[in-house]
Amino acid sequence: MSRTPRVLAALLAFAVALPATPAGAVPTDPVAPSDRATREPGNGPERNEVAATDPLLTAGAMARTQGHNQPTKTAGYPKQTKLRVYPEDPTDRAIKLGLVPYHGIAPALNDLQARSDRVSVEVAGQSTLGRDLYLVTVTAPEHVSETRRQDRWRQLIEDDPRAAARDRQLRDGYKTPVWFNGNIHGDEWEGTDGALRVITQLATATDTATRRLLERSRLYFTVTNNPDGRVAGTRVNGAGFDINRDHITSSQPESRAVRDVLIATQPVLMLDEHGYTGTTLIEPSTAPHGQNYDYDLYIRHAYPNALGMEAAIAALGHPETARANIPFRDDAPGDWDDWPPIFTPMYSMYHGAVGHTVEVPMQVNRGSYNSLPVEELRRRSGINTDVAAATIRAAIGYADSHRAALLADQIELFRRGWAGEAQRYIPDGYVPGFGPEDRYTTQFPRAYVIPAGDGQRSPAAAARLVDHLVAHDVRVRRAKAPFKLAGHWYPTGSYVVDMHQPKRGLANAVLEAGRDISALVPQMYDISGWSHGLLWGATVHTSRRESPRVPTTPVAVASPTGGVLAPYGRDLALTVDDGKDVQAVNALLDAGVALRRQDDGTIVVPASARRSASEVAERLGVRFTAARWPARGEALTKPVLAAAVAADELFVLRDLGFDVRPVSTAVLNAGYDLSDVDTLFVSSGLSYAGLNAAAKSQVDALLARGGVVTRGATGARFNADAGVLPARAVAGRSDANGVVSVTGGGGPVGTGALPHSFVYAPLWFTDLGAGVTADQRYAATPLVAGHWIADPDDGTGGPTDASGQAAVVSGVGPRGTAAVLFGTEPLFRAHPKGLFAQVGRAIFWTATHNPPVT
């Protein structure tokens, strides 16, 4: 049920108490009312489908020796850059909507820099396809000494919040940072145009209110976070990724760029401008709320700011903007939650920002883009631009009017982290509508340890995890001596994440196992479980109460992990335990090294290739040991893959170094030649039953000589239709997802695998025929963290049904095809990096078990 009936009276009283026109707000444009447009359904959650040189940024992006922002050579404001101008592109999809094309942004910003000393523009990074990502800063001019003082204050807020809270000069003189991110989904255009409108007004206004606003504020705009998608009219970036699902993983350059903007600017408030939901949607969100938040510091600003933005869009006069949907107020728990830190605002909250998603109302993308008249599309995009600009102005006004409270609460967030204080109990009615369904908390552990030495499963994975933490402004330290903690001895060089630190919420969100929330909400908007600690391949230990008593040094970058640990003259062995090991195998194959694959999956490198192995070890951080003597096994040549896969899987397979040829039913039916392919990977877009006779003959020939790897329902259907392995796939609930426990450990995939995996729409396999083995099985209680319930109609598809069933199977079927079938999601959104080795092992095994016929 909606919250509205329960809280209406309190809500109205709360809204009336808000200032009608916040001091410092940017004046709105006069607009004429327009007719109500037909409301279309919004864009729901979807799985990924195929489809800087700035000193400020450098401070956030370079090696942070204390795990925090480091000062660099400082320039004052404005610090302006003459942006490169891109050739006109008449195919830019924004043009049809009457919006600014990407090639028009740089000239507009260059012009504003020439006309106004309030505007600075810098390049925050490049997109997947090499387009510039712009960071626009709007503030009153600053002498270099003033900019240095602002930088020192920003550092003090995070590094010593107690001192910051006592600093009267900081309290009076700190320029409140506010950040606006636009167009992260490429076919949700108008956030860019609304931002440009506000930037232009602020740059050129001559009134006293605007001048004073900019004297006490820094306003940051990443005007388009996804220029590749903007030009192409796609939600995803140039690699096929939804960037707004990538922040905790940061696999894409666009998400890494805004991560560094966020860390470097440390905003007290941010908006992420999206579309299209029929009625303008303005967060805060419904439950469940991320359990690592200090939610009291968030909701007391997020809710009134949302009400202020609602008032601002109502004042536009459009019938379509008379009221907003504020999920916290209007929706049922689970409908639009802020649980996972994959979204920009939810991730930003861990860095001290009050984060909001704003969804402008009128759909102009996808089917509407192609079916509606241009005149109607432009009318809608005009309304959407008005909404984007109005919400930005209202947020600026709120941040200025509530500057002291926002600043104090950011300082308080970091102070609680340093002090290791418990999260606050939030009483019912803390803001109108807050109740028991909103109360999510955790008990932070005292420390995490990422061991060095023999206790570490994968030194390469450990180094990756440490570097990831540091890049996200989590403080990591390295032990200078052995130490004992919570009953374990750890060697010198082990990494310690002391949870008495300013961004403990983010540290815990990254490293903890997570929580099973299946019984708490009926559904979830997106994924509900993730864990770098369990899924990234490194050994991570948790100390609940004790902190290590050992001298440490701050980490800027993880120690090197690669090496050749074998006597000269001996063949070398590489155990494929991590994606880096898979990359190493493919790099050696690319270099022409003759490798052999042993029955346990170990890769043997001849002694004569020691120099090549040393180079790969240094570059990728992998370790070679002495091979058993005599070294036997199948000769391994570079596998060629034909892959009918989702964009995230294609990205990972290529990143692992495989030679991948994308295929589909249509591509094969058009006559694609599979004669040089070793393994067929099927998870998306390929139906055996849908192949024509010639294509089916090609596939049959491949199955007779090569291998198959499948994932998910599409892969399982291919296996059944093609008669590859005798195994029956059973589908779990389609929206089930999260971290699961698995057992087993044999076969080409299970050997050396992690005891945890990831699922999204999980499968399991029954009725295993001759020659088929279960490499992994779901544990007796499978779900560790996430959301997985049985179908409410018939009670099937839940974790109880999956208990003990085969999650991954392998074997040689009646066709003689070596095959591996995944019911788990080992490549999902390039996130579960510790599972990538499973896929590499599966490919190497299927490619060598049946060598190509000559």
Percent of the chain with pLDDT over 90: 89
Is residue 58 one of the residues assigned to a domain? Answer: no
**Each residue of 574-587: pLDDT tens digit?**
999 999 999 999 99
Rounded mean pLDDT of 664-689? 98
Query: Would you say residue 853 has pLDDT above 60?
Result: no
Query: Would you say residue 9 has pLDDT above 60?
Result: no
pLDDT at residue 633, rounded to an integer: 86
CA separation for the pair 217, 213 (Å, rounded): 6
Query: Would you say residue 851 has pLDDT above 90?
Result: no
Same domain (yes/no): 604, 712? no
Same domain (yes/no): 13, 28? yes
* Structure-block tokens of residue 418: 């340093």
Give the end of a domain, one of 368, 401, 434: 401
CA separation for the pair 288, 661 (Å, rounded): 41
Rounded mean pLDDT of 315-331? 98
Q: What is the pTM of this model?
A: 0.92
Is residue 44 one of the residues assigned to a domain? Answer: no
Q: What is the DSSP letter of 803?
A: T
In the structure, what pLDDT confidence band is assigned to residue 46 with cuts at 50, 70 and 90?
very low
Same domain (yes/no): 282, 136? yes
- Cα 557 to Cα 32, 61, 548, 553, distances in angstroms: 56, 12, 21, 12
Query: Would you say residue 45 has pLDDT above 70?
Result: no
In the structure, what pLDDT confidence band is assigned to residue 39 with cuts at 50, 70 and 90?
very low
Beta-sheet pairing, 176-182 with 217-222: parallel
Average pLDDT of the residues of the chain: 92
Is residue 451 one of the residues assigned to a domain? Answer: yes
- DSSP code string of 255-286: HHHHHHHHHHH--SEEEEEEE--SS-EEPPPE
* Structure-block tokens of residue 554: 């701050």
Give the amino acid at 516.
D
Q: What is the CATH number of the domain that holds 728?
A: 3.40.50.880
Q: What is the CATH number of the domain that holds 568?
A: 3.30.70.790
Catalytic residue among 122, 359, 512, 825: 359
Encode 183-218: b = buried (16+ Cβ within 10 Å), e = exposed: bbbbbbbbbbbbbbbbbbbbbebeeeebeebbebbb
Annotated active-site residue 88? The verdict is no
Give the end of a domain, one of 401, 434, 455: 401
**Each residue of 107-140: pLDDT tens digit?**
999 999 999 999 999 999 999 999 999 999 999 9
Q: 69 or 811: whose pLDDT is higher?
A: 811
Q: What is the CATH number of the domain that holds 351?
A: 3.40.630.10
Is residue 442 one of the residues assigned to a domain? Answer: no
Query: Would you say residue 694 has pLDDT above 70?
Result: yes
Same domain (yes/no): 474, 600? no
Is residue 340 one of the residues assigned to a domain? Answer: yes
Query: Would you say residue 28 has pLDDT above 90?
Result: no
In the structure, what pLDDT confidence band is assigned to residue 66 with cuts at 50, 70 and 90?
very low
Query: Would you say residue 351 has pLDDT above 50?
Result: yes
CA separation for the pair 180, 345 (Å, rounded): 10
Same domain (yes/no): 538, 605? no
Same domain (yes/no): 308, 356? yes
**Each residue of 462-495: pLDDT tens digit?**
999 999 999 999 999 999 999 999 999 999 999 9
Same domain (yes/no): 653, 622? no
Percent of the chain with pLDDT over 70: 91
pLDDT at residue 73, rounded to an integer: 58
Query: Would you say residue 531 has pLDDT above 80?
Result: yes
Q: How many structural domains are present in the chain? A: 4
pLDDT at residue 805, rounded to an integer: 98
CA separation for the pair 776, 3 (Å, rounded): 44
Is residue 765 one of the residues assigned to a domain? Answer: yes
Rounded mean pLDDT of 18-40? 31
Same domain (yes/no): 500, 587? no
In the structure, what pLDDT confidence band is assigned to residue 630 with cuts at 50, 70 and 90?
confident
The parent domain of residue 707 ranges over: 640-849
Rounded mean pLDDT of 40-52? 30
* Structure-block tokens of residue 670: 């058009």
| Residues sharing a CB contact under 8 Å with residue 765, sequence separation 6 or more, in sequence order | 727, 728, 729, 730, 774, 805, 806, 807, 809, 821, 823
Same domain (yes/no): 460, 367? no
Is residue 503 one of the residues assigned to a domain? Answer: yes
Same domain (yes/no): 235, 317? yes
**Each residue of 753-789: pLDDT tens digit?**
999 999 999 999 999 999 999 999 999 999 999 999 9
Give the end of a domain, one of 618, 636, 654: 636
In the structure, what pLDDT confidence band is assigned to residue 745 with cuts at 50, 70 and 90?
confident
pLDDT at residue 25, rounded to an integer: 35
Same domain (yes/no): 767, 782? yes
Q: 705 or 3: whose pLDDT is higher?
A: 705
Same domain (yes/no): 619, 716? no
Distance of CA 594 to the CA centre of its chain: 38
Is residue 204 one of the residues assigned to a domain? Answer: yes
pLDDT at residue 850, rounded to an integer: 57
In the structure, what pLDDT confidence band is assigned to residue 162 with cuts at 50, 70 and 90?
very high
